[in-house]
Amino acid sequence: MTTASPAARAAELRDLLHHHAHRYYVLDDPEIPDAEYDKLFQELQALEAGHPDLLTPDSPTQRVIGKVLDGFVPVRHAVPMLSIRTETDTEASGAVAFDARVRRELGLADTEPPIEYAAELKFDGLAINLRYENGVLVQAATRGNGETGEDVTQNIRTIQQIPLRLRNHREAPQVLEVRGEVYIRRDDFDALNERQRELIAQGAKNEKTFVNPRNAAAGAVRQHDPAMAAKRPLKFFAYGVGEVRGWELPARHSDVVDALHAAGLPVDPQRAVVLGADGLVAFHRKVGEKRDALPFDIDGVVYKVNERALQQRLGYVSREPRWAVAHKYPAQEQMTTLLDIDVQVGRTGKLTPVAKLKPVFVGGTTVSNATLHNQDEIERKDVRLGDTVIVRRAGDVIPEVVGVVADRRPADAPRFDLHARLKGKCPVCGSEIVREEGEVDWRCSGGLFCAAQRKQAILHFAGRRAMDIEGLGDRLVDQLVDSGLIRTLPELYKLGVAKLSALERMADKSARNLVDGLEKSKQTTLTRFLFALGIRHVGESTARDLAKHFGALDRIMNASVEQLLEVSDVGPIVAQSIHTFFAQSHNREVVEQLRACGIAWEEHDGHGDLSPKPLAGKTFVLTGTLPTLTRDEAKDLIEAAGGKVAGSVSKKTHYVVAGAEAGSKLDKAQELGLPILDEAGLQSLLKEAR
């Protein structure tokens, strides 16, 4: 039980909470669980409620203040927040030109040593000035016009990364203005937009999604309600200082940034000190290579002469420092005109609307097509034909339309409806297009027939758990389809050694092996054949349940939705998918042609096969390599006897079947005292169970 006075305990709690917040939000290295932090926070809240005189501006409880602001108060910057010159040459030559200009301004000969530079990322966010007096945050202001910004202190207080007081506050300068950038990480931005979509779908008023992280960050900082700002996932990086009183600044800019970090402010770890033009070029290239992998957006890098004495010698021109430059990368977003919308059919039958654009240079290349994802996204973004749109391309990511410039919209811009445009038919094969309840994508229902899905359908059909056609992999399927040898699944079984041997890198032996594999695959099971057809939502388990319930393929093909719903674990969506698949005449034709090729399986009368199996309710786990059975063969034998094969060992496991080089699963089974079988033991159990 504590005996400290309320004032002493409140001070202790503030110190503890500031320390742990720094560990969590800045260093990403928490020392205590969230629940423990919450206890300390609630204790401080209770103390302040009971003793209002203990409340201080730097208290962690003052992160979110409930008062809604009427407007933003102008703030005149003690030291102007100047912009820096932009180097529009996005190649290495831009860095070389800056170094040459600096050396020329300083009067340095070619024989003199290279200049030391501080190289930093140019964040794509909102510039902010934080004013600390005696180590306590007293004001935060936007850049504004550089001379005058807006007071956004209450909103900035909601950013957990920004300390309400500096770590060394007892020795802090009388005044320290910290310059930095407020931003939103890409993953946080995606999650924010997803939450916004959910709110919109629920009918919430005045909600919208955001075009990019920068706009979302800027909008959050300029919210009049701090509670709303607190809901946005804002982050902060410090990169410089404004007015400073009571601190003799270090001689180098990089040391200033290090000192800010030591004071508890987050700074970007990508920053570096480099020498001369070669160092600048290497930094620009290195950051450019990993730009798309960064967790936040940047639009370039910044070079600053590191020695502050040299900065003073260089001075300013047109209110821009001669000692700094922003070296841009190719823009990742540009505006252009949406000329039309086409629809592409993917390998799995997904229909994707594609924007046909007036060509625009973005992300380092000329873009004339961009994805619109799906009909819901088109409606959410309110994209219309003829619109001026914002196109984004980052690295190798497919260009996408991220927003619309609504005030440039033509008066007669029509809306786009994918189903109406296609008249309900796949643009490739003419099959019916479907969109299941709760899904955003339209899909072609002609999986076995549609040319756009041909390769995917063949690969799935030949898969190990489907028809198990040995030797038919991705590369060979590409060759067969691209050369025109295969257009439909039945044509697989018409391949001969002569045709296959004529393919590039296909030897006679490989051709013979594939023909043998095709012949072997003809003897299969109804479960495997159903799974091989690639019916949407029909996996191995569902295929097995269908085969058991109906016993014959024709009964499944002719079943109504109501009859399909009688099958164990088949719900409305799965039943409708199966019914739609077999309602397509061309799918039925492909099935009949496959049968005509000689594919066969045993059938039965259906429901009679649902009698209890001897191993029903028993769970097996397979581990290691068995002498004669493959893992799949052992699994099939167990499931045929009614057993279930699981992937991990638990107290609910009945048997573990172990072969050579069995690993941790065997150890776990021994630890739990479970029955362990070898292959002979499994075969014996199966024999007894018959």
Catalytic residues: 122
Query: Cα(303)–Cα(32) distance, rounded to whole angstroms?
Result: 39
Query: Cα(132)–Cα(163) distance, rounded to whole angstroms?
Result: 10
DSSP 331-398: -SEEEEEEEEEEEEE-TTSBEEEEEEEEEEEETTEEEEEEE---HHHHHHHT-BTT-EEEEE--TTSP
Direct distance between the N- and C-terminal alpha carbons of the chain, in angstroms, rounded to an integer: 70
H/E segment holding residue 546: helix 540-550
Among residues 559, 599, 593, the alpha carbon closest in space to that of 577 is found at: 559
Query: Cα(538)–Cα(550) distance, rounded to whole angstroms?
Result: 15
- E strands of 603-665, at which residues? 619-623, 644-646, 655-658
The answer to whether 41 and 60 are in contact (CB under 8 A) is yes
Distance of CA 233 to the CA centre of its chain: 16
Query: Cα(260)–Cα(161) distance, rounded to whole angstroms?
Result: 13
Strand partners for 148: 76
Tokens representing 637?
């034998």
3-state class of 43 per DSSP? Answer: helix
Query: Cα(44)–Cα(55) distance, rounded to whole angstroms?
Result: 9
∠ CA 362-368-369, nearest 5°, is 105
Residue 402 contacts by C-beta under 8 Å, 6 or more apart in sequence? Answer: 211, 212, 333, 381, 390, 391, 392
The answer to whether 299 and 328 are in contact (CB under 8 A) is yes
* One-letter amino acid for residue 291 of the chain: R
H/E segment holding residue 21: helix 6-21
Residue 123 contacts by C-beta under 8 Å, 6 or more apart in sequence? Answer: 181, 183, 237, 268, 296, 297, 298
The answer to whether 392 and 399 are in contact (CB under 8 A) is yes
The answer to whether 209 and 189 are in contact (CB under 8 A) is no
* One-letter amino acid for residue 288 of the chain: G
Query: Cα(580)–Cα(216) distance, rounded to whole angstroms?
Result: 43
Query: Cα(534)–Cα(537) distance, rounded to whole angstroms?
Result: 8
Query: Cα(451)–Cα(446) distance, rounded to whole angstroms?
Result: 9
Strand partners for 129: 141, 179
Which residue reads 């190649």 in tokens?
91
* One-letter amino acid for residue 280 of the chain: L
* One-letter amino acid for residue 421 of the chain: R
* One-letter amino acid for residue 518 of the chain: L
Query: Cα(441)–Cα(345) distance, rounded to whole angstroms?
Result: 11
Query: Cα(56)–Cα(261) distance, rounded to whole angstroms?
Result: 24
H/E segment holding residue 92: helix 92-106
The answer to whether 104 and 120 are in contact (CB under 8 A) is no
Query: Cα(626)–Cα(678) distance, rounded to whole angstroms?
Result: 8
Tokens representing 38?
């919450």
